[in-house]
Amino acid sequence: MALQVDNIIETKGALILGAGVAGLFTALKLAPFPAVVLADTRPGVSGSSARAQGGIAASVGQGDSWQSHAADTVAAGAGLCDPAIAALVAREAPARIEDLVRYGASFDRRADGSLAVGREAAHSAARIVHVSGDRAGAEVTRALADRTQETPSVTLMEGFHAIELALRDGRVVGLFARVCDGPVRRLVLLRASCVILATGGLGALYAVSTNPPETRGEGLGMAARAGAVIADPEFVQFHPTAIAVDRDPAPLATEALRGEGSILVDEVGRRFMPAIHPLAELAPRDVVARAIHREIVAGHRVFLDCRQAVGAAFARAFPTVHAACREAGIDPAVQPIPVAPAAHYHMGGIAADTRGRSSLEGLWAVGECAATGLHGANRLASNSLLEALVFGARAAEDVRANVATRTVGGTVPAPTRYAAPPVPRALREAMTRHVGLERDALGLAEALRSIDRIERAGGHEPSLLNMTVAAKMVVAGALARRESRGGHYRSDYPRTDSVPVRTFMTLADADRIAAAPTADPKIRAAH
């Protein structure tokens, strides 16, 4: 169905969709090459970036090395990381932290002025740079937004909700977005030399998630609908310790609390992690998340007990977590914090190469919406902001070298914010119930039926289609992977295959899997 366009905006250089760390950093690295950063939310407080707590991994501490960082990344990825990408990212990490310092991010420092580094789960060294304890995301996003505002080559356009990529002869030449002009809803076509998607993850497609509502997989959905290859969509990471106080998004008890020595206990104070993994509470995220999930399914309540490890220092060391606990009437210095796993991070995404290029001409993808091969089946803590920085810089370099700017005229309207329709509740419930921490063929087939029903009921509303397509890619990837690995656990295929194989699929492939879920022998056996 052709879209009725009310307005055409010509942009001069790159059009970046998303104003989290990936989008803003890429725009700054592009300068003086012109860039428009378009987002439905306000730059500086946008996306998951502004909520990140732990910090950014980089081997800047004494005695640490990029080789050790790369090795930890590969070990966490359960056989699916691309070791060359892990090496590239770990090697470039310290330089990207220096960039952030230059852009005005004020990381915590030691008395001698060197960067203070913390330790997080599955890292073999202290290598997480942080800000005011747990405010890394808020501070870095603010610094980048301030800097982009002062950068003449960057234009920030807030309040636009993108719904579809614009294609000409198979090449991406811009995108369609909705915006409100006073009370009037308009559809605009933004034309650009190239489009860089920086739309974040898809956690908000799940009912229990740490992600804000704008991270609902729309960038991935748009790219898939345009024919782009999607990589590893089945791998969703669940944060083990969201604070279980019935809030959406669920506030987070950062991993760093376990790094400090906090322990997981049940309602009678029984510690259960040492019996499950030699690293106990510092085991990889998927192991900890599934252990908590199973305790809860078995009827227990689970708590993060920080009384011994952090105690009276809590408010100063972890102000964000402290505030979330206090709002819920919990004093974490003297009371254990109730926790549960929540959808947190998408390892999969738009397949992107070392320059951030997708499989479609004219389209780049950076940050959480991209899959570069860094995270494999399970992301190492604090590697995601880093991936956004490393590939943001690389995509910028590639665009500057290879994309021409255009001469443009016309004016940009000053919009009022367009409020996109929320994620359908039925979709969030289906994803949490059937595509969560433990999956099986029957549940995944049921998720596909729910997605189909939601799509039909919603007509061909593009924003809804972006979400259902993103969800369908996750389900199809999960159905096709008949093994358990990293963040993907199939209770009907609990073993891990001896040969690790990454998933690369288009929407056409996912549709074929969705059309014949009974191809799975476990479903055939159940009928």
Ligand X SMILES: Cc1cc2nc3c(=O)[nH]c(=O)nc-3n(C[C@H](O)[C@H](O)[C@H](O)COP(=O)(O)OP(=O)(O)OC[C@H]3O[C@@H](n4cnc5c(N)ncnc54)[C@H](O)[C@@H]3O)c2cc1C
Identify the residue among 11, 14, 35, 40 touching ligand X (CB under 6 A): 40
Enter the tokens of residue 406.
């255009």
Smallest gap from Cβ 348 to ligand X, in A, equals 13
Q: Give the angle subtended at the CA of 273 by the CAs of 268 and 279, to the nearest 5°.
A: 150
- Residues forming beta bridges with residue 196, ordered by sequence position: 16, 364
Using rule CB under 6 A, residue 34 touches ligand X? no
Task: Name the residue among 520, 396, 286, 375 with its Cα closest to residue 73.
Answer: 375
Identify the residue among 148, 193, 211, 372 touching ligand X (CB under 6 A): 211
> Please, how many CA atoms are within 13 Å of residue 55, restricted to the half-sphere of its CB?
29
Using rule CB under 6 A, residue 199 touches ligand X? yes
Using rule CB under 6 A, residue 341 touches ligand X? no
Give the integer Cα–Cα distance in Å for 89 and 78: 18
The residue (of 145 and 513) whose beta carbon lies closer to ligand X is 145
- Signed CA dihedral, 463, 465, 468, 471: sign only: negative
Identify the residue among 53, 155, 241, 378 touching ligand X (CB under 6 A): 53
- Among the listed ranges 43-51, 111-119, 316-324, 446-454, the one in contact with ligand X (CB under 6 A) is 43-51
Using rule CB under 6 A, residue 219 touches ligand X? yes
- Residues forming beta bridges with residue 161, ordered by sequence position: 178
The residue (of 40 and 440) whose beta carbon lies closer to ligand X is 40
The residue (of 54 and 486) whose beta carbon lies closer to ligand X is 54
- Residue with structure tokens 């998607």? 197
- Among the listed ranges 47-55, 63-71, 331-339, 476-484, the one in contact with ligand X (CB under 6 A) is 47-55
Mask 127-156, x = binds ligand X (CB under 6 A)?
Answer: ---------xx-------------------
Smallest gap from Cβ 250 to ligand X, in A, equals 9
Give the integer Cα–Cα distance in Å for 257 and 140: 21
Enter the tokens of residue 227.
């024919």
Residues written for the chain: 527
**DSSP H or E stretch at residue 504:** strand 504-505
Q: Exactly one of 96, 135, 258, 285 is catalytic; name it.
A: 285
Identify the residue among 11, 155, 193, 210 touching ligand X (CB under 6 A): 210
Restricting to residues 376-405, name those near ligand X by CB under 6 A. 382-385, 388
Using rule CB under 6 A, residue 18 touches ligand X? yes
Give the integer Cα–Cα distance in Å for 223 and 199: 11
Identify the residue among 11, 41, 59, 155 touching ligand X (CB under 6 A): 41
- Among the listed ranges 34-42, 145-153, 322-330, 474-482, the one in contact with ligand X (CB under 6 A) is 34-42
Using rule CB under 6 A, residue 47 touches ligand X? yes
Give the integer Cα–Cα distance in Å for 140 and 382: 14
Smallest gap from Cβ 344 to ligand X, in A, equals 6
Using rule CB under 6 A, residue 36 touches ligand X? no
The residue (of 55 and 517) whose beta carbon lies closer to ligand X is 55
- Among the listed ranges 20-28, 145-153, 296-304, 450-458, the one in contact with ligand X (CB under 6 A) is 20-28
The residue (of 155 and 383) whose beta carbon lies closer to ligand X is 383
Residue 412 and residue 189 in contact, taking contact as beta carbons nearer than 8 Å = no
Task: Examine the residue annotation and report whether 285 is marked as an active-site residue of this protein.
Answer: yes
Q: Give the angle subtended at the CA of 265 by the CAs of 317 and 122, to the nearest 5°.
A: 60
Give the integer Cα–Cα distance in Å for 427 and 446: 12
Smallest gap from Cβ 433 to ligand X, in A, equals 21
Using rule CB under 6 A, residue 260 touches ligand X? no
Using rule CB under 6 A, residue 22 touches ligand X? yes
Give the integer Cα–Cα distance in Å for 46 and 39: 8
The residue (of 199 and 484) whose beta carbon lies closer to ligand X is 199
Using rule CB under 6 A, residue 503 touches ligand X? no
Residue 230 and residue 348 in contact, taking contact as beta carbons nearer than 8 Å = yes
The residues, any chain, with a CB within 8 Å of residue 104's CB and separated by 6 or more, are: 143, 146, 147
Using rule CB under 6 A, residue 159 touches ligand X? no
The phi, psi pair for 373, rounded to 5°, reads 100, 0
Smallest gap from Cβ 114 to ligand X, in A, equals 20
Burial class (CB in 10 A: 0-12, 13-18, 19+), 453: middle
Report the side by side order of strands in the sheet with 194-197. Answer: 154-158, 35-39, 14-17, 194-197, 363-365
Smallest gap from Cβ 469 to ligand X, in A, equals 13
Identify the residue among 72, 92, 158, 218 touching ligand X (CB under 6 A): 218
Using rule CB under 6 A, residue 342 touches ligand X? no
Type of residue numbered 354: T
Using rule CB under 6 A, residue 158 touches ligand X? no
Smallest gap from Cβ 518 to ligand X, in A, equals 34
Smallest gap from Cβ 37 to ligand X, in A, equals 9
The residues, any chain, with a CB within 8 Å of residue 265's CB and separated by 6 or more, are: 271, 272, 302, 303, 305, 336
Enter the tokens of residue 327.
């709002």
- Residue with structure tokens 């001409």? 361
The residue (of 46 and 372) whose beta carbon lies closer to ligand X is 46
Using rule CB under 6 A, residue 17 touches ligand X? yes
**DSSP H or E stretch at residue 129:** strand 128-129
Q: Which residues are marked as active site?
A: 285
Contacts with ligand X, residue ranges (CB under 6 A): 17-23, 39-41, 46-49, 51-56, 136-137, 160-162, 198-200, 210-211, 214-215, 218-219, 252, 344-345, 367-368, 382-385, 388
